[in-house]
């Protein structure tokens, strides 16, 4: 059984965004008007209509992480120029379910718990120099 949302998620994870021709293909495949595919693509947070950068950074803005001060990470990203850098895509997320290790940051799909500004800054500078995050950025 195929679900529209599952298919869109597959495209999103393959390209990092939803290209227009793929949306048209989905519209035909599921036999639903393109307007509905588009409304779905804009309603759900997981989708983006623009290409994403080389590195994807998520900061958790869930309750447990905010209580433990995760909001300053966004300030750090801003200060480091990450928010305007095309190589980076930043998206806040509401909870990864790793709340016991709050505050949580996810970089290129890997979850890092008990994050500090210091550690985040080091990891980002590593990313700007080479392309893999490594844990010696501790």
Partner 1 sequence: MPNRQDGQIRCWIRWDKMVDLDRLKEEGIDKLYSDRIAVGTSTCGIAAGALEVLEELKSKSDANIAEVGCLGLCAAEPLVYVQEDGKAALVYRDVKKIEEAEVLGWFYPWEFSPLKVEHPDLEGYKEYPRLVEHPFYRKQVKVVLRNCGIIEPLDISQYVAMGGYRALQKILEMKPWDVIEEVKKSGLRGRGGAGFPTGLKWEIARKNGGEYIICNADEGDPGAYMDRSVLEGDPFSVIEGMTIGAYAIGAKLGFVYIRNEYPLAVKRVEEAIEIARKHGFLGNNIMGTDFSFDIHVAKGAGAFVCGEETALIASIEGYIGEPRVRPPYPAEKGLWGKPTVINNVETWANISPIILNGWEFFASLGTEKSKGTKVFSLVGRVKNTGLIEVPMGISLREVVEEIGMAENVKAVQTGGPTGGCIPRALMDVAVDYEKLTELGSIMGSGGLVVMDESTCMVDVAKYFLEFSKIESCGKCVPCRLGLTEMVDLIEKITQGKGSLSDIEKLEKLADIVANASLCGLGKTAPNPLLTTLRYFRQEYEEHIEGRCPAGVCRALVRYRIIEDKCTGCGLCKLNCPAEAIDEVDEVYKIDPEKCISCGSCFSVCKFEAVERW
Interface residue with partner 1 among 39, 125, 131, 134 (CB under 8 A) is: 39
The SS3 call for residue 125 is helix
Question: By C-alpha distance, which of 46, 129, 137 is closest to 87?
Answer: 129
Binding mask 60-79 vs ligand FES (x if CB under 6 A, - otherwise)? x-xxxx--------------
Question: By C-alpha distance, which of 44, 34, 41 is closest to 18?
Answer: 41
Stretch that binds partner 1, among 49-57, 82-90, 114-122, 126-134 (CB under 8 A): 114-122
Contacts of residue 138, Cβ cutoff 8 Å, sequence gap at least 6:
119, 122
Stretch that binds ligand FES, among 19-27, 41-49, 94-102, 126-134 (CB under 6 A): 94-102
Choose between 18 and 57: whose C-beta lies nearer to ligand FES.
Answer: 57
Give the interface size with partner 1 as a residue count (CB under 8 A): 54
The SS3 call for residue 33 is coil
Angle at 115 between CA 106 and CA 77, to 5 degrees: 65
Q: Which residues bind partner 1 (CB under 8 A)?
A: 1, 3-6, 8-9, 30, 32, 36, 39-40, 43-47, 60-69, 71-73, 75-76, 78-79, 93-102, 104, 111-114, 116-118, 121, 135
């Amino acid at each position: 059984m195929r679900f529209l949302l599952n298919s869109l998620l597959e495209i999103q994870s393959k390209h990092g965004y939803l290209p227009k021709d793929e949306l048209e293909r989905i519209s035909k495949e599921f036999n639903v008007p393109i307007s509905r595919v588009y409304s779905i693509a804009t309603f759900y947070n997981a989708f983006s209509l623009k290409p994403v950068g080389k590195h994807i950074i998520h900061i958790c803005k869930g309750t447990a992480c905010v209580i433990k001060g995760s909001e300053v990470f966004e300030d750090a990203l801003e200060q480091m120029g990450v928010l305007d850098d095309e190589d980076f895509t930043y998206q806040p997320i509401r909870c990864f379910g790793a709340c016991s290790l709050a505050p949580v940051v996810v970089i290129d799909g890997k979850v890092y718990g008990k994050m500090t500004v210091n550690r985040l800054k080091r990891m980002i500078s590593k990313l700007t120099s080479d392309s893999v995050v490594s844990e010696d950025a501790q």
